[in-house]
Amino acid sequence: MAKGKGASNKLPKKEVRRIEEINRQTDHRVPLPGIETGFDEYGVDVSDKTHAELSQFKPYAASLSTKEKYRYHRDTGQMRSFFGDVRFGYRSTIMDDLVNASLTESSFKGSGWGKIKTQSQEKDGSGSEGNEKAASVVFFNFSGFYVLFWMIVAFIVLRVGVDYYFSHDGDLSQSEILKFMTTDLLSVALIDLAMYLCTFFVLFVHLAVKRGWIAWKRTGRYLTYAYEIGFLWTFLYVAETVMQFHWLSKIFIFLHSLVLLMKMHSFASYNGYLWGILEELKFSKSTLAKAKDINIDDDIRIVLEKSCEFCQFELDLQSISVKFPANINFKNFFEYSMFPTLVYQVEYPRTEKIRWSYVFEKLCAIFGVILVMMIIAQFFMHPIAMRAMAVRDVGMPIFWDRIFEWLYLFLKLVPSFIMMYLMVWYLIWDAILNCIAELTRFGDRYFYGDWWNCVSWDEFSRQWNVPVHKFLLRHVYHSSISFLHLNKMQATLMTFVLSSVVHELAMYVLFGKLRLYLFSLQMAQIPLVQLGNSRFLKSKKILGNAIFWLGICTGPSMMCTLYLTF
């Protein structure tokens, strides 16, 4: 009788493979013995062997139990999504808030408009109204300094531009920086277009998974990881060896390939995780349905029920209107590829319309800032860079003459590099990203925080480049905790190391040499963070901000002259 019953309950081969695959992905990596013999051997037969065979559920149930510490809040017990680390909302940028609040005709009132705000009122013991004391604070508007800053920049640009015009008989084509920026423009544009089109590979992989042609865990993810590595090195090789671009084109291709790589990885990882959740939901539901009349252990039943509950919660939370995997289509991926974000999700906050006046304002800012950067680079940085390379090429003794010469060039480069640093930040994180956001009606404009007020380097890493910080937070830091089972300190170290390696690779692309100067300085931020959080510096915010600005003012110039001179 038992044999006949076992034959009638035999699982299809497809179901057997699915159960084996789910078990292989568990944290304990324990195989399910005897699974090929049928459903009764999996632990749901009502024979005398029931108790022994029910134990075969335990590896799968144990793997689900270990995941609960990531799925449920430790204190409240509430479910929490794996994607709850990064949130998007309707937010404007700080510079836009400054301009809208202080520099419009309706808000700018000139001098003498300090607002007096009563903080507290105290009465004397007599209770007389005439004896009230009010403590007040006066708030002044410093918008005039913002106008003055750009006025100074305009006059500097005008002065050096006129000098260059007359010294070169009006021939602007002799500018080395202009030559760099206009050489191979068509070739760079075509390669950049090819890079963008190659990002659709990850969409094709998930479309194949969606149609059941391949499985994400067995095939899709390995194809994607191999493709991502090949994508980065292929276009780096093309720019360096095949096309032999100059340094400006090479660094542009490299940095944009990193942006596209992060976009691909986020899209692939997000949907890959949901494929696993959907598979777990189907398996847990089917197991509960088949075992509902069986005397299965209560602990196992509870674990399966919680698995179903969480998986349904995770899938429903991603979007109200578009349910996974309906989001895997060309329209959704194209929109995501256009949005100024590196972290994928099904839906983003969107504005109602495009403000074309705002787009025009940002376009003017883009071309104006590029002009300022070209003049700074041509007149204040390029001559110093040429001298640094000359020092390197003549073979000057390293430990004396070359070091003193490097120190002189370093100090000479600091003022112009501070200006270039600020211009690059404003160009990318304010002008360009806001322009793209407006054209795509992307609602979350939080591309940077008030990094200029940072008092420690860990604050700076979070505030300076918010899109990259969000990517590292989800796909490096939290993923290493969830899937590699690292602790917080190990995950932080891994994030710092990965970021430092990528930055050093950028220096290799830029200067053509591997020196590890930038890698070493970035890794030095770890003890500096601990120092900034010490009891001595934690209460001294002004000192912390001064130390931070000292690093910002000297770090880029130090890196540039080190790579050029040594």
By annotation, the residues acting in catalysis are 503
> In the Cβ-directed half-sphere of 363, how many Cα atoms lie within 13 Å?
8
Nearest 5°: CA angle at 457, between 498 and 451? 110
Contact in structure between 328 and 336 (CB atoms under 8 Å): no
- Whether 340 and 433 have beta carbons less than 8 Å apart is answered as yes
Structure tokens belonging to residue 394: 């003549």
The phi and psi torsions of 350 (rounded to 5 degrees) equal -125, 145
Interatomic CA distance for residues 235 and 228, integer angstroms: 11
Torsion-angle region of residue 26: left (phi > 0), alpha (psi -120 to 50) or beta?
Answer: beta
b/e map of 73-94 (b: 16 or more CB within 10 Å)? Answer: eeeeeebbebbeebebeeeebb
Tokens of 514: 């591997």
Q: What does the buried/exposed string (b/e) look like for 186-204 if buried means 16 or more CB atoms within 10 Å of the residue's CB?
A: eebeebbeebeebbebbbe
- What's the CA gap between 246 and 178, in Å, rounded? 13
DSSP bridge pairs for 138: 116
Q: Is 372 exposed, middle or buried (0-12, 13-18, 19+ CB in 10 A)?
A: buried
CA distances from 60 to 64, 70, 299, 307, 481 (A): 6, 17, 12, 11, 21
User: Is the backbone peptide bond immediately before 33 cis, with ω within 30 degrees of 0?
Assistant: no
Sign of CA dihedral 80, 86, 90, 92: positive
Residue among 308, 284, 280 at smallest CA distance from 296:
284
Joined together, the tokens standing for residue 104 give 């419009």
Please count the other Cβ atoms lying within 10 Å of the Cβ belonging to residue 445. 22
Residue whose structure tokens are 């095949």 = 242
| Amino acid (1-letter code) at residue 313 | F
CA distance 301 to 288: 7
Write 167-175 long-range contacts (CB < 8 A, 24+). 175/374, 175/378
d(CA 332, CA 345): 10
Which residue, among 355, 375, 319, has the nearest Cα to 435 in the 3D structure?
Answer: 355
CA–CA gap between residue 552 and residue 533 (Å, rounded): 19
* Strand, helix or coil for residue 361: helix
- Concatenate the DSSP letters of all residues of 230-262 into one string: HHHHHHHHIIIIIS---HHHHHHHHHHHHHHHH
CA nearest 176: which of 367, 31, 378?
Answer: 378
